[in-house]
């Protein structure tokens, strides 16, 4: 039997670094540096690739997506600068072999093939500079539910405004619809402080997200059943007192999650929020995080 080693892949925005660590915070390895406000990260274990988004300089519309081998070699840009505005959270769909991401100032949810080709817009929440000034249109987090056939995303709203939303739609744009006018968009939750990144526990049918808004509902990790519709379910707060929570990664097989915040801490906890501990501190401004189980020769 092949032995697997669990690793976390973490982005640090201010210094533009991608690093990996064991799940106890040990054996830190810097994989890539010199990025411009990296935000979302995901791993294709079988191909041996790590992907991440670069927000670039938001007023300039110069965001891009990169890929690197697990050891930091063969770094390449797959989605060129300007094809996406300010790409945020990034997700890998191993079944469809696609990358999904939210584009904040681009006001859209997007996807592409793993080599960066076939870039598509799935959801468009606004057009032009006037709409772009409306932060309720900004798309930040994204998650893909291949079991239920949905893509989820957050629209965070202005800082601490209580105007954040979590929405979902089908993975593909319905025939006859356009990304800006989809008949299948559902608002699952609204009035949230400032929802950021998303994860789906496919087996348990549970949606998790971070929120960096004001306490008591903000700076939290939350969860709710994915079948909740039209905001009738009150989200469960499972972790509090983050320092502007951003990234979240789930390991359902071992009943745990990992969370980052802009204060520079990586937290581990059980899926219900219990047994929380800090596995890394003072790491800079941390954004995205991904969990992966690597083969012995990859780690």
Q: Where are the domains of the chain?
A: 4-295
Confidence of residue 295 (pLDDT cuts 50, 70, 90): confident
Predicted confidence at residue 214, as pLDDT, reads 84
- Mean pLDDT of the region 140-165: 95
Residues 6+ apart with CB under 8 A from 297: none
Dig out the tokens for 97 from the structure.
């072999």
What is the three-class DSSP state of 134?
Answer: coil
Which residue matches tokens 């798309």?
139
CATH topology (fold) of 4-295: Neuraminidase (2.120.10)
Decide which of 254 and 215 is more confident: 254
- Mean pLDDT of the region 65-87: 97
What is the three-class DSSP state of 135?
Answer: helix
Predicted confidence at residue 239, as pLDDT, reads 97
Rounded Cα distance between 70 and 20, Å, is: 9
| 231 has pLDDT over 60 | no
| 143 has pLDDT over 70 | yes
Question: What percent of the chain shows pLDDT beyond 90?
Answer: 91
* Nearest-5° Cα angle at 43, 39 to 46: 165
Measured over the CA atoms of residue 72, residue 200, residue 198 and residue 243, the dihedral's sign is negative
| 227 has pLDDT over 90 | no
Query: How confident is the prediction for the chain on average, in pLDDT?
Result: 95
- Mean pLDDT of the region 79-91: 97
Residue 217, CA distances (Å) to 137, 161, 187, 238 in order: 21, 12, 19, 11
Rounded Cα distance between 215 and 231, Å, is: 20
Q: Pick the closest to residue 166 from 179, 177, 157, 176 (CA basis).
A: 157
Q: Is 160 left (phi over 0), alpha (psi -120 to 50) or beta?
A: left
| 187 has pLDDT over 70 | yes
For the ranges 42-56, 88-102, 121-135, 213-227, the lowest mean pLDDT is seen at 213-227
| 228 has pLDDT over 80 | no
pTM of the model: 0.96
Torsion angle, CA of 289/254/194/219, rounded to 10 degrees? -90
| 114 has pLDDT over 60 | yes
Q: Quick check: bond before 216 cis, omega within 30?
A: yes
Q: Torsions phi, psi of 289, nearest 5? A: -145, 145
Decide which of 160 and 11 is more confident: 11
Dig out the tokens for 86 from the structure.
């300010």
| 103 has pLDDT over 60 | yes
| 232 has pLDDT over 80 | no
Q: Pick the closest to residue 265 from 247, 286, 248, 246 (CA basis).
A: 286
């Amino acid at each position: 039997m092949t032995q697997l080693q669990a690793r976390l892949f973490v982005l640090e925005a201010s210094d533009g670094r991608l690093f990996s660590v064991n799940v106890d915070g040990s054996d830190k390895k810097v994989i890539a540096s010199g990025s411009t406000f990296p935000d979302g990260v995901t791993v294709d274990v079988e191909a041996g690739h790590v992907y991440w988004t670069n927000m670039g300089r938001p007023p300039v519309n110069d965001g891009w997506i990169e890929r690197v081998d697990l050891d930091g070699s063969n770094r390449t840009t797959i989605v060129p600068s300007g094809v996406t505005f300010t790409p945020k959270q990034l997700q890998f769909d191993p079944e469809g072999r696609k990358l999904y991401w939210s584009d904040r100032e681009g006001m859209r949810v997007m996807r592409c093939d793993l080599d960066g080709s076939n870039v598509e817009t799935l959801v468009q929440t606004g057009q032009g500079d006037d709409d772009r000034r409306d932060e309720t249109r900004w798309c930040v987090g994204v998650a893909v539910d291949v079991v239920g056939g949905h893509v989820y995303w957050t629209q965070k709203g202005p800082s601490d405004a209580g105007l954040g939303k979590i929405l979902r739609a089908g993975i593909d744009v319905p025939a006859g619809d356009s990304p800006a006018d989809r008949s299948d968009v559902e608002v699952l939750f609204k009035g949230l402080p400032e929802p950021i990144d998303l994860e789906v526990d496919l087996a348990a049918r549970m949606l998790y997200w971070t929120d960096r808004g004001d306490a008591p509902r903000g700076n939290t990790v939350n969860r709710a059943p994915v079948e909740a519709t039209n905001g009738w379910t009150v989200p469960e707060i499972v972790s509090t007192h983050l320092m502007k929570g951003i990234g979240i990664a789930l390991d359902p097989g071992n009943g745990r999650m990992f969370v980052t915040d802009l204060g520079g801490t990586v937290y581990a906890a059980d899926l219900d929020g219990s047994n929380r501990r800090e596995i890394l501190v003072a790491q800079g401004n941390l954004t995205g995080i991904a969990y992966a189980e690597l083969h012995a020769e990859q780690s």
